[in-house]
């Protein structure tokens, strides 16, 4: 559904089966209303995506003759997984076609789950190829250890661990998930994993025991969702997740930040700067957010597509980040477009400074 959301644009035509409330008049003149299933073709006007329910609501006007719905009448179609639809566009650009290839390639669904935790707080997340979904948040108030009496602290900690184990069992499908990252500061992750597998042995929990090898412990600075980026950067994790898109995105963004720190002349962000670097054929890796391709203005969208095509023609690598990933959110803070250059382009930033000071 995330791919579909990125494929749909205002002005496209969408044909799908839907239910419409229709008023009928009987021979006696009484008016009644029935819900009738019919197939409509809409000209798309607004698109609303609910990532938690995995539903797309598409509103638009009817553009094809229908016995129940007048031409030009408004209707909202709800798209769900496994419901067929037909999409027509005036133009299929390279970014849209690549999105379709990704959606059809099973290798893109190599999924990861993560438990990011600290004492009293845990987030159970699913890291899909296109987004990071928080499936459960566990919060338990844990009293401090007191001299000579740790029982309250230990009981609360046990209650917290138990709730996290339940959340893992409820929200992680081990048939799909290849790896479960358990990330925390200090020794919280070790203590939690020890507790989880001790309980699994006691209760003969086959689900956890059979998937024990999938759990991977890594360090993070806190139990908040944003600490997940650090966990994905860990070299041990990167080698384990080498076939997932999320790990590649995180590494590319990490490389960009390192370059920005050590060789700022080889790390550009902002559309104008990146376009000028591209004119000099200097871009080695282009980092761009998929949010930019959902732009309503056709000319602006075409500008981003042209940039992507041009970088590829010049043998550069293009990484399209998902705005629902932690890494995509961070790229969004850097205007949504950034580039790692093959060679320094120093005079560009100098020219920009001179022109801006003249404008001032």
Site of tokens 């809409």: 42
Q: How many CA atoms lie within 13 A of 211 on its CB side?
A: 20
Q: Is the dihedral of CA 324, 327, 333, 339 positive or negative?
A: negative
321 domain residue, yes or no: yes
179 domain residue, yes or no: yes
Query: 219 pLDDT exceeds 80?
Result: yes
Q: Which residues are within 8 A (CB) of 71 and not within 5 positions of it... i.e. 6 or more apart?
A: 62, 63, 64, 65
Q: Which of 282, 303, 283, 284 is nearest to 293 (CA)?
A: 303
Read off the pLDDT of each residue in 18-42 and give the average, rounded to a whole number.
84
Which pLDDT belongs to residue 308?
95
Integer angstrom CA distances of residue 344 from 1, 283, 317: 40, 10, 17
> Residues in the chain, how many?
360
303 domain residue, yes or no: yes
Domain count, the chain: 3
Same domain, 205 and 305: no
Same domain, 266 and 190: no
Which pLDDT belongs to residue 114?
92
Give one word for 29, left, alpha or beta, with left for phi > 0 and alpha for psi -120 to 50: left
Q: How far apart are CA 290 and CA 92, in angstroms?
A: 16
Q: How far apart are CA 59 and CA 10, in angstroms?
A: 10
Assign 153 to helix, strand or coil. helix
CATH of the domain at 37: 2.30.30.870
287 domain residue, yes or no: yes
In this predicted model, what pLDDT tens digit does every residue of 179-214 receive, in sequence order? 899 999 999 999 999 999 999 999 999 999 999 988
Q: Which of 301, 304, 298, 289 is nearest to 335 (CA)?
A: 289
Q: Which of 145, 171, 174 is nearest to 157 (CA)?
A: 145
Helix axes 298-313, 271-279, angle to 10 degrees: 40
Read off the pLDDT of each residue in 258-279 and give the average, rounded to a whole number.
93
Same domain, 151 and 164: yes
* CB neighbourhood size of 350 (10 A): 10
Same domain, 170 and 151: yes
Q: How far apart are CA 262 and CA 305, in angstroms?
A: 30
Grade residue 174 by pLDDT with cuts at 50, 70 and 90.
confident
Q: How far apart are CA 138 and CA 107, in angstroms?
A: 31
Grade residue 357 by pLDDT with cuts at 50, 70 and 90.
very low
Same domain, 127 and 223: yes
343 domain residue, yes or no: yes
pLDDT averaged over every residue in the chain: 86
Which pLDDT belongs to residue 239?
67
Which pLDDT belongs to residue 33?
81
The burial of 34, by beta-carbon neighbours within 10 Å (0-12 exposed, 13-18 middle, 19 or more buried), is given as: exposed
Which pLDDT belongs to residue 266?
93
Same domain, 1 and 120: no
Are 6 and 51 in contact by the 8 Å Cβ rule? The answer is: no
Q: Which of 194, 227, 242 is the last residue of a domain?
A: 242
CATH of the domain at 170: 3.30.420.60
Q: Which of 188, 177, 159 is nearest to 215 (CA)?
A: 177
Q: Which of 225, 242, 259 is the last residue of a domain?
A: 242
Provide the greatest CA pair distance for the chain: 87
Same domain, 229 and 259: no
Above pLDDT 70, what percent of the chain? 91
Site of tokens 């001179």: 354
Same domain, 297 and 329: yes
Same domain, 327 and 287: yes
Which pLDDT belongs to residue 359?
46
CATH of the domain at 322: 3.30.1330.30
Same domain, 259 and 215: no
Are 134 and 123 in contact by the 8 Å Cβ rule? The answer is: yes
Are 188 and 250 in contact by the 8 Å Cβ rule? The answer is: no
Which pLDDT belongs to residue 355?
47
Grade residue 354 by pLDDT with cuts at 50, 70 and 90.
very low
103 domain residue, yes or no: no
Same domain, 218 and 265: no
The burial of 277, by beta-carbon neighbours within 10 Å (0-12 exposed, 13-18 middle, 19 or more buried), is given as: buried
Which pLDDT belongs to residue 128?
72
Q: Which of 242, 277, 294 is the last residue of a domain?
A: 242
Query: 244 pLDDT exceeds 70?
Result: no
Same domain, 236 and 258: no
28 domain residue, yes or no: no
Of the candidate ranges 32-46, 134-148, 256-270, 273-287, the one whose mean pLDDT is the lowest = 134-148
96 domain residue, yes or no: no
Per the structure, the complete domain to which residue 266 belongs is given by 246-352
């Amino acid at each position: 559904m995330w791919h579909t959301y990125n494929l749909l644009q205002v002005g496209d035509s969408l044909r799908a089966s839907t239910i419409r409330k229709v008023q009928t008049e009987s021979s006696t003149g009484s008016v009644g209303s029935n819900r009738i299933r019919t197939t409509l073709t809409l000209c798309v006007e607004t698109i609303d995506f609910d990532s938690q329910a995995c539903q797309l609501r598409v509103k638009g006007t009817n553009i094809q003759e229908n016995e129940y719905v007048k031409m030009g009448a408004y209707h909202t179609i709800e798209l769900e997984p496994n419901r067929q639809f037909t999409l027509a566009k005036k133009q299929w650009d390279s970014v849209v076609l690549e999105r379709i290839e990704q959606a059809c390639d099973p290798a893109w669904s190599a999924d990861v789950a993560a438990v990011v935790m600290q004492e009293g707080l845990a987030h159970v997340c699913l890291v899909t190829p296109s987004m990071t979904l928080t499936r459960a948040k566990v919060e338990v108030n844990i009293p401090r250890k007191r001299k000579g009496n740790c029982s309250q602290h230990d009981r609360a900690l046990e209650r917290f661990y138990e709730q996290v184990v339940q959340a893992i069992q409820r929200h992680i499908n081990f048939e799909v998930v290849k790896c479960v990252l358990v990330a925390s500061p200090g020794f919280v992750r070790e203590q939690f994993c020890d507790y989880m597998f001790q309980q699994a042995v006691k209760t003969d929990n086959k689900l956890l025991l059979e998937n024990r090898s999938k759990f991977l412990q890594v360090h993070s600075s806190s139990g908040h969702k944003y600490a997940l980026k650090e966990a994905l950067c860990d070299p041990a994790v990167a080698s384990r997740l080498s076939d997932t898109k999320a790990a590649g995105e995180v590494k590319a963004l990490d490389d960009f930040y390192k370059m920005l720190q050590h060789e700022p002349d080889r790390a550009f962000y902002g559309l104008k700067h990146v376009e000028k670097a591209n004119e000099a054929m200097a871009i080695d890796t282009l980092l761009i957010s998929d949010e930019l391709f959902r732009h309503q203005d056709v000319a602006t969208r075409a500008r981003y597509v042209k940039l992507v095509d041009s970088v590829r023609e010049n043998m550069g690598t293009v990484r399209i980040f998902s705005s629902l990933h932690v890494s995509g959110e961070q790229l969004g803070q850097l205007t949504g477009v950034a580039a790692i250059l093959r060679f320094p382009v120093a005079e560009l930033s100098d020219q920009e400074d001179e022109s801006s000071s003249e404008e001032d």
